Amino acid sequence: MPKRLVIKDIEKCVGCGLCMFACSRRHGEIGNDYSGILPVSLSGFERGATVIFCRACIEPPCAQVCPTNALTPKEGGGVVYREELCIGCKNCINACTIGAIFERRNGKPALCVHCGYCVNYCPHGVLGYEEVEA
Amino acid sequence: MKVLKIDLSKYRYEIEDRRDLFEEWIGGTGVAVQLLKEEMDLNADPLSEENVIVFAVGPFTPAYPLASKTVAMFKSPLTGNLGESHAGGRTAVAIANAGYGAIVIKGKSKKPVYIVVHNDKVYFRDARVIWGIADSLIVGRIIAEREKGRGIRTVMRIGGGGCNLVRYACVTTETYRHFGRLGLGAVFGSKNLMALVVIGRGSRKVPDRRKYKDVYEKIMKLALESGAMKKYHLLGTAVNVLPLNEIRSLPTKNLRSTVFEKAEEISGEALAEHNLGRRIACSHCPIACVHIAALRIPYETEPYFYKTIMISYDYELIYALGSMLGIGSREGLLRLIHKVEIYGLDAMSTGVCLAWATEALERGLISEKETLVKLSFGDVDGYMKAIDYIVKQPNEFYKVLAQGVEKASDVYGGKEFALAFGKNEMPGYHVGHATHIGYLIGLRHSHLDNAGYSLDQKLKEIPPPNEIVDKLVKEEEWRQVLSSLVVCFFARGVYKPEIVAEAFDALGYETSEEELKLKGEKIYREKLKLKIKMGFDPDSLRLPKRIFETECFQGKLSEEYIREALRYWKERYVLPLV
């Protein structure tokens, strides 16, 4: 069974963004440009916080609109991203219903590939990394 | 490192490479001092076009956790001298990810605007429609809905306090964090600047992945497992209420007492048990010290209708709007905190001003003709109305009170119980001599400059005044390194000199503990020099009589002791720089 980044309890999110920084560090970068996960407040922190990342769709709309096959559906859900094929058209960013594909400074997408690295840095048990049924 | 300079008078901006500044002065406080020196006429009126605002972050942002403070530096409209204020939230991370080490704001817009910085672009937006909205939370929401960058931005804005030039108005960010103290909100207001939005998406290469990972993990471990931040992780700063009350150090009813009979009711423990509804964190902080109370309030006239408001509390707010005003009900306290939050006022200054006004009214120095409402210790409703008046300033008295307690007592008397140090209203500690010496010689007149209140609690016996001064200055010098790194002071137990040196090394900069300490001394001197050039005179520091009347942890304080400390400080640290 494939392993996925999952939400254990979204209500526990404090909006610290440690997941976002972990994601860019995984790419050898300090900052957020390469991050495929985004911590947001719910229209202001008075209503709490949440994180946005790829749901690993079985039929990913982002891959359907990719003109160069830089994004292709992965077996069991989600996508495989081949940056060298990407022309930065941003179709995928517009196609994702939950806004989980982010635009990097160079115009190309940043997205979660479900590696689970960020889970090690979530201090409050919001995120988990688990086997799921494909 | 780049510096973004924005000129509101000409609606222009430029970006400069200033790695020279960051190499010599680290970032944050160290760099802000230099930029202010370069950019500002030091004789400028703080509410004029000539005032300059610097926001600076440091080399650890966002490389490491807990280095997410932004240092703001400006000329304070409250004191007429150097203003420095630190805030967390997402400010520092947004500025750093946008590609900047510092942002400088100069000039004055002809009409109300807000600024949006999106990576390397700057946009000036019309703010005429939202100017004057008194509720800073609503200002924040409107701007957040209009602008891009959800999750990677900061929205630093003012409310009614800043728009109406209350000289202790703050700039509020991410709903619950503040550039408080010394009136940055009024400086925004005077520039017709409603908000500064910074949207940052960016990153830089890690030079040595293994080394960097090791140091990163070490810092995380220290933060979460060593106990260095336990206090903030559990009850938060509100944990201070009961211990300070127990050792007779909790300023109560305009410091006529240091023991509050209702301390239990407004303690961190009680708030956690009855009201704590949520926790949130500044960006890149695993501690999440921001404690938010949920307060359920019924509609005044309709049964079974409620509103639930979320109110962030901290020790200083509980002191200033609780014990200092004799407020012993949690609901009353939270309503006052919310009121101050909405307007974007500094809570400590507001509380101290109201406490002075209450006593001045009791003593007949002023009458209800001035205050417009009866003020008495413990009466929430009176204070709720008075806070409205501070912002709206319907008469001469409130126009004066909006300029701070120093000014108010200049005009109406009551100097002996006007609790300001260096014209900045008192923080929530009356522990001993070092506490007050700390407020007086601290370059921001803040308890956090040198933590005198903490030193007082550690002393076994009282040493000669010069020893206290040397200790306080030494602490303040090291804190210049932390605030130049923009490390949160709550993480000072994590970022010890050896860790800081290691963290630098992992980013490819060689330094040593010794060099860091020398930098701290240098930055302290530079800041003091800047303060002197702006007209600071140590001889003008006023000691409110009240602090010698009310017993504290150290018993009755000696005026001679504190005066001797000031003499020594001037001789040893100030005069060599003149």
pLDDT at A134: 66
pLDDT at A133: 80
> Count of CB atoms within 10 A of residue B421's CB?
25
Query: Does B528 map to a domain?
Result: yes
CATH code for the domain of B480: 1.10.599.10
Residues B41 and B122 in one domain: yes
Query: Could you say which of A18, A30, A105 has the minimum Cβ distance to residue B206?
Result: A30
Dihedral of CA atoms B214, B220, B221, B222 in degrees, nearest 10, equals 110
How many contacts, defined by CB atoms under 8 Å, are there between A and B?
A: 110
pLDDT at A132: 87
CA distance B485 to chain A (A): 16
Quote the distance between the C-alpha of residue B280 and its chain's center: 19
Taking an 8 Å cut-off on Cβ atoms, the answer to whether A30 and B62 are in contact is yes
Residues B360 and B399 in one domain: yes
Q: Following DSSP, what letter does each residue of B26-83 receive, concatenated?
A: -SHHHHHHHHHHHH--TT--TTSTT--EEEE--TTTTTSTT---EEEEEE-TTTSSEE
Residues B306 and B433 in one domain: no
Residues B188 and B237 in one domain: no
pLDDT at A47: 87
* Mutate: best of A12, A30, A42, A118, partner B, most B CBs <10 A: A30
Domain count, chain B: 3
Q: Which residue has the tokens 């805030």?
A: B87
CATH code for the domain of B402: 1.10.569.10
Query: Does B420 map to a domain?
Result: no
Q: Which amino acid would we find at residue B485? A: L
Residues B342 and B248 in one domain: yes
Residue length, chain A?
Answer: 134
pLDDT at B64: 98
Residues B407 and B432 in one domain: no
Fold exhibited by the domain A3-126: Alpha-Beta Plaits (3.30.70)
Low-confidence ranges of chain B (pLDDT < 50): none
**Spatial CA neighbour of B520 closest among B537, B500, B535, B541:** B500
Q: Following DSSP, what letter does each residue of B419-447 receive, concatenated?
A: -EETTEEP-S---SHHHHHHHHHSTT--H
**Spatial CA neighbour of B67 closest among B444, B479, B478, B495:** B495
Instruction: Measure Cα distances from B332 to B22, B240, B318, B327, B342 in Å.
Output: 46, 20, 11, 7, 15
**Spatial CA neighbour of A45 closest among B201, B278, B116, B316:** B278
Residues B337 and B442 in one domain: no
**What is the pLDDT of chain A when averaged over all its residues?**
95
Show the CA angle centred on residue A128, arms to residues B92 and A32, nearest 5°. 25
Q: Which of residues 178-237 of B touch A (CB under 8 A)?
A: 200-206, 209, 212-213, 216, 220, 224
Q: Which residue has the tokens 């703001």?
A: B72
pLDDT at A128: 97
Tokens representing B153? 């931005």
Taking an 8 Å cut-off on Cβ atoms, the answer to whether B152 and A49 are in contact is no
Q: What are phi and psi of A8, to 5 degrees?
A: -90, -45
pLDDT at B48: 98
Taking an 8 Å cut-off on Cβ atoms, the answer to whether A44 and B206 are in contact is no
Taking an 8 Å cut-off on Cβ atoms, the answer to whether A28 and B286 are in contact is no
Q: What domain range is B47 assigned to?
A: 2-199
Quote the distance between the C-alpha of residue A34 and its chain's center: 10
In chain A, domain spans = 3-126
Q: How would residue A117 be classed by pLDDT, with cut points 50, 70 and 90?
A: very high
What ranges in chain A are assigned the alpha helix state H? 18-26, 61-64, 91-95
> Count of CB atoms within 10 A of residue A84's CB?
6
Query: Does B416 map to a domain?
Result: no
Residues B350 and B473 in one domain: no
Note the pLDDT tens digit of each residue in A85-105.
999 999 999 999 999 999 999
Q: Which residue has the tokens 């501690």?
A: B287
* Mutate: best of B66, B68, B139, B152, partner A, most A CBs <10 A: B152
CATH code for the domain of B123: 3.60.9.10
Note the pLDDT tens digit of each residue in A12-63.
999 999 999 999 999 999 999 999 999 999 888 888 899 999 999 999 999 9
Q: Which of residues 77-96 of B touch A (CB under 8 A)?
A: 90, 93, 96
Mean pLDDT in residue range A1-21:
95
Would you call A8 exposed, middle or buried from its count of C-beta atoms within 10 A (0-12, 13-18, 19+)?
middle
